[in-house]
Amino acid sequence: MFLKDKVILITGGTGSFGKKFVEIVLREQLPRKLIVFSRDELKQHEMRQLYPDGTGSRIRYFIGDVRDLERLMRAFRKVDYVIHAAALKQVPACEYNPFEAVKTNILGAKNVIDAAIDRGVSKVVALSTDKAVNPVNLYGATKLCAEKMFIRANAYSGGEGTQFSVARYGNVVGSRGSVIPLFFQQKTTGVITVTDPRMTRFWITLEQCVRFVLHCIECMEGGEIFVPKIPSMNIMDLAQAIAPDCEHRVIGIRPGEKLHETLVSQDESRDAMETETMFVIRPPYSVEDALVCGEPAGNCEGFNYTSDSGAAWLTVDELQAMVHPFMPADGGAGD
């Protein structure tokens, strides 16, 4: 319980990741205080029904936007660790509203960095995505920019100041914007729309995300990009797992999409080290080659970690087990 008696704040705390993070940390750790920072009062109200605040509670709710530096400065007072999960992440919405994506994902990241340094926060982990690697859409580009900012923030904070690192992972099963609800909805019509039958994606569950980020907080030294080793899936296998008896109609890849995602690019591999459970992309100014997070590590130069060439593939049966918790009450069969 390395978070015992610590004060933790999570931006975007009412999102999919934030809710699972709160559930696990409150159940398994003993933080002195866990602050949920978000801009949606309704979602905070709904979350408060599950995790009440007030006398004797370890949780607090703080209305605010990462675009507002003054509000972050108030919220970060006496905070030990910050998890930065707030972002605009819907690809079409970011394409249609580019300046809004920049304000939240880039300028918001700058505000989090400035507030953390000025308030003396010990550690900050920013959540990122495979779409930040060789980005082809604005969302990925803003997350790439945010990654660069958080890594270089270690130079601003100085050797003894706030430590900043990044946790980069793939598509989260059942998160907002996931294809799973769409497939269950389409199942009632008898036709599943698939963009391209060759499409592959990295997949990770919310619980795996949270446990990975907690591990990153515990072992980070500042400047690392942590990438978990996670399985891949093919879109046709997912369609088969959800709606095996439906027609599969190919509609073509959408603007801003890739056929396959990348979590570690070949250029990044020069600075990457491999452990049993993850890859760690070290900052360019690092001189530590022997150990990463206390584990023996091997160099990854020349390696390219992509969803179509991953070592682990999810089978249809495994995918069925993963999507089962998200099945509608009627089984997706309609009326």
pLDDT at 297: 54
Q: 55 vs 33, 50, 52, 73, CA distance in Å?
A: 12, 15, 9, 24
**226 falls within a domain:** yes
Assess whether pLDDT exceeds 50 at residue 237: yes
Query: Global pTM?
Result: 0.92
Cross-strand pairs, 192: 248
Split at pLDDT 50, 70, 90, the class of 139 is very high
Give the range of the structural domain holding residue 143, as residue numbers without chain letter. Answer: 7-170+204-230+263-306
> What are the DSSP E strand ranges found in the chain?
7-11, 33-38, 59-63, 81-84, 123-129, 163-169, 171-172, 191-194, 200-204, 225-228, 232-234, 247-250, 262-264, 272-274, 278-281, 291-292, 295-296, 298-299, 305-306
**180 falls within a domain:** no
**61 falls within a domain:** yes
Determine what percent of the chain is predicted with pLDDT higher than 90: 76
pLDDT at 243: 92
Domain count for the chain, please give it.
1
| CATH at 86 | 3.40.50.720
**188 falls within a domain:** no
Catalytic residue flag (residue 131) = yes
Q: Per residue in 96-114, pLDDT tens?
A: 999 999 999 999 999 999 9
Residue of 131, 143, 187, 258 with catalytic role: 131
34-59 b/e with 16+ CB inside 10 Å = b?
bbbbbbeeebbeebbeebebeeeebb
pLDDT at 333: 53
More confident residue, 193 or 310: 193
Query: Is 203:173 a contact under the CB 8 Å cutoff?
Result: yes
Assess whether pLDDT exceeds 60 at residue 335: no
Pairing mode, if any, of strands 291-292 and 295-296?
antiparallel
**105 falls within a domain:** yes
**189 falls within a domain:** no
Q: Which residues contact 307 (CB under 8 A, 6 or more apart)?
A: 130, 170, 200, 201, 202, 232, 260, 261, 262, 263
Mean pLDDT across the chain: 91
pLDDT at 259: 93
**199 falls within a domain:** no
Assess whether pLDDT exceeds 60 at residue 296: no
**318 falls within a domain:** no
